[in-house]
Amino acid sequence: MNRRTLLATAALGLGLAFGGSASAQGLDKVKACFVYVGPIGDLGWTYQHHQGALELVETYGDKVEIAFQENVPEGADAERVLTQMALSGCNIIFTTSFGYMDPTNNVAAKFPDIKFEHATGYKREHPNVSTYNARFYEGRAIQGHIAGKMTKTNKIGYIGSFPIPEVVMGINSYYLHAKKVNPDVELSVVWAFTWFDPAKEADSAKALIDQGVDVIASHTDSTAPLAEAAKTNGAVIGFGQASDMADYKPSPRVSSIIDNWAPYYVKRVGELLDGTYEQVDSWAGIPEGEVEIGEITDAVPAEIKAEAEAMRDAIAAGTYHPFTGPINKQDGSVWLAEGAVAPDGDLLGMNFYIEGISGEIPK
Amino acid sequence: MFGGIDPALLISALMVASVPIILAAIGELVVERAGVLNLGVEGMMIMGAVCGFILSVQTGSAFMGFVGGAVGGMAMALIFGLLTQYLLANQVASGLALTLFGLGLSSLMGQGFVGIRPPATGAVPFGPLADIPFLGRVLFSHDWVVYLSLASVAATWWVLRSTRTGLILRAVGESHDAAHALGYKVRKIRMLAILFGGAMAGVGGAYISLVRVPQWTDGITAGAGWIALAIVVFAAWRPWRALIGAYLFGGISVLQLNLQAAGARIPVEYLSMSPYLITILVLVIMSSGRGKAALSAPASLGKNFHASR
């Protein structure tokens, strides 16, 4: 950037600051910043977000500059990192973990000209805060179907990270669809209380395997649960989470949920460039391509594979919603009546298990 | 069976889970007994994890991986030793810097090794011994590093308690001036202790990346080094107590996951809290009344030594 364009950008920046409606005119160049909860090399959640960030550079070339910080703890530290990013000239900041919800809103209040995008949260306290999420529960439904059909011990497991609606939603969807095809199935949930701690994730998987579980779904960020399942020589299977985790094909990884954030990132930064950017609450899933189902391997019999793919296609076509009634809550009270479809509001605040799951959600 | 959990499986799982912490804690215990406070355990562990992983993948031998882990940890310890023993840098600051440096460097070195599986480290074949009910599962079903960790505790205890080497090491840690006046090479002895600590932390790190989570991921040690440091204090600088401390930490963390998997109705929060509560309790009990003397740290801990002073 030479001095003239620098001055021009500065002048434009001033114009934006004093001109009021910032989004009415586009920007010449966007600096997009990302805050990650784990390392890029986790091969899971953070890796996928970073792939999306790289796609921005691929698409817009030198019109976009990216910056990121890895391993940012959720909480007060995040606020410092966000402030630092805001001061260093970021135009749009993507905060990619649920725990950044309050820090994002707090910092957004102080920098009204900078756009903030918070992944998986629900608070938009200021006009410059948008939220975006993916309908992971759609993928969980397909995993649940495979789990219910594949389990020999009739015990399936789920490694939860934190008891937040997104994870509870995944557990319910997984169990619901396993139960549908296998009424004897029992679900064990282990809460790891971390997003990224490979040793603890492996221990959680081991605890489940020791209890006789033979299909494990995980909601944490690393490949450690699959590595633990791999030690059993095919007796235990699992799924890639957030990323394809293709290194564990064909078994224990029999399928996966892939988060594809690139289209969303490209769209939002594009809007910032051409001046059409507006606050949104985005929640896309399989139909939009934001959630992808990784290849179902040959470790799954062809018939089950076909059923799973049919379900995926039905969800993509919009003809099937994973939470379609009748569904009761854990205490037996009615949640969804026959044929009713879960409203998004119920899902986003989900804090209950459905009927049949034992145990309680930690508070 | 107890609450749906098989105690044999639980004990064998906790023995495996505690290995990295025991190895790192025993190494750090010897370092601190020599009067040096090395807060870089986490950095040495993760360098051990990445070096061990790279070497075992390149050579195809799990054993070479552990050798690589020890060398990686020692290389980091060497930097710390040079800084603190010869350049007289502040030990706390150097240790913290070592951790940050190790995390960054390991991430750089591990770039090309993400997604690769290392050669497996199998259980030691004990033949019929492994078929003994209960004991076979608990004692005779592990890989060799588990036995190494136990042997290292016993050996360290014996060396510190009943050999001349141990006496000299402790003398250096209690009063480096007196040891120097007696003609012992304080700097050399401390350097050797630091290198030993690095090697042990490195093997502990390699155990995480080669056995417990057989893969390389950035930040794979996830704070194990800090727990090892805490356990040394918990153990009041005694090897067997370090073993108990590591089993308590490892045991409760494995137990709470197992209780959850078994569907026991105990709130997770209490179990997650319990290792720390027990630590506080033990420290309170030990620091009151007659036990007080046993708690005292090596008198020269964290103090730099120079012959002219």
Of A42, A193, A203, nearest to B272 by CB-CB distance is: A193
Evaluate if residue A343 carries a pLDDT over 70. Answer: yes
CB pairs under 8 A between A and B: 116
pLDDT of A156 above 50:
yes
Q: Considering only CB atoms, which residues of chain B are within 8 Å of chain A?
A: 4-6, 9-10, 13, 17, 20, 107, 110-111, 114-117, 208, 212-215, 217-224, 253-254, 257-258, 260-263, 265, 267-269, 272
Give which of A285, A281, A283, A347 is closest to A316, Cα–Cα: A285
Q: Does any domain span residue B304?
A: no
Question: For residue A91, which of A186, A13, A7 has the smallest C-alpha distance?
Answer: A13
Identify the bridge partners of residue A237 per DSSP, sorted by sequence position: A215
**Pick from A42, A191, A358: CB nearest B217:** A42
In whole angstroms, give the CA distance from residue B281 to residue A349.
Answer: 39
CATH of domain A136-251+292-348: 3.40.50.2300
Give the start-end residues of each E strand in A128-222.
129-134, 155-160, 186-191, 215-218
Contact A362 B269 (CB under 8 A): yes
Q: Are A160 and A191 in contact (CB under 8 A)?
A: yes
CB–CB of A345/A175 below 8 Å? no
| A22 pLDDT tier (thresholds 50, 70, 90) | very low
- DSSP E strands, A161-287: 186-191, 215-218, 237-240, 253-259, 281-284
Is B2 inside any structural domain?
A: no
Element (H, E) at B258: helix B239-261
Q: Does residue B161 lie within any of the structural domains?
A: yes
A20-134+261-284 has which fold?
Answer: Rossmann fold (3.40.50)
pLDDT at A18 over 50: no
Q: In this structure, is residue B303 part of a structural domain? A: no
pLDDT higher than threshold 60 for residue A220: yes
Asked if A73 has any chain B CB less than 8 Å from its own CB, the reply is no
Structural contact between residues A251 and A297, judged by C-beta atoms closer than 8 angstroms = yes
Whether B61 maps to a domain, the answer reads yes
Contact B261 A211 (CB under 8 A): yes
CATH code of residue B225? 1.10.3470
* A196 with B219: Cβ contact below 8 A: yes
As to burial, measured by CB atoms within 10 angstroms (0-12 exposed, 13-18 middle, 19+ buried), residue B31 is buried
Point out the residue among A38, A203, A227 whose CB comes nearest to the CB of B215: A227
Residue A34 pLDDT level (bands cut at 50, 70, 90): very high
- Structural domain that includes position B81: 7-114+128-295
pLDDT band at A359 (very low <50, low <70, confident <90, very high): confident
Q: Are strands A237-240 and A186-191 parallel, antiparallel or unpaired?
A: unpaired
Across A3-17, A81-95, A166-180, least confident range: A3-17
Q: Is A344 in CB contact (< 8 Å) with chain B?
A: no
pLDDT at site A11: 46
Per-domain residue ranges of chain A: 20-134+261-284, 136-251+292-348
Could you read off the pLDDT of B131-180 as tens digits, one per residue? Answer: 888 888 888 888 999 999 999 999 999 999 999 999 999 999 999 999 99
A-chain CB neighbours of B254 within 8 Å are 203, 207
**A359/B265 Cβ within 8 A:** yes
A74-127 confidence digits (pLDDT tens)? 888 899 999 999 999 999 999 999 999 999 999 999 999 999 999 988 889 999
pLDDT at A54: 94
Least CA distance to A189: which residue of chain B? B261
* Number of folded domains that form chain B: 1
Say what the ipTM of the complex is: 0.78
- pLDDT score, position A300: 92
CA distance B244 to B231: 9
How far apart CA A136 and CA A170 sit, in angstroms, is 7
| Interstrand relation of A129-134 and A281-284 (parallel, antiparallel or unpaired) | parallel
Question: pTM of the predicted model, to two decimals?
Answer: 0.81
Please give the single-letter amino acid code of residue A135: R
Q: Are strands A291-294 and A253-259 parallel, antiparallel or unpaired?
A: antiparallel
Calculate what percentage of chain A has a pLDDT beyond 90: 66
Distances (CA, A) of A57 to A126, A143, A266: 28, 33, 9
Q: Which of A199, A227, A362 sits opposite B224 (nearest CB)?
A: A199
Identical fold for domains A20-134+261-284 and A136-251+292-348, yes or no, is yes
Q: Confirm or reject contact between A196 and chain B (CB < 8 A).
A: yes
* B147: closest CA of chain A, how far (Å): 20
* Low-confidence spans in chain B with pLDDT less than 70: 1-4, 272, 275, 279, 283, 286-295, 309
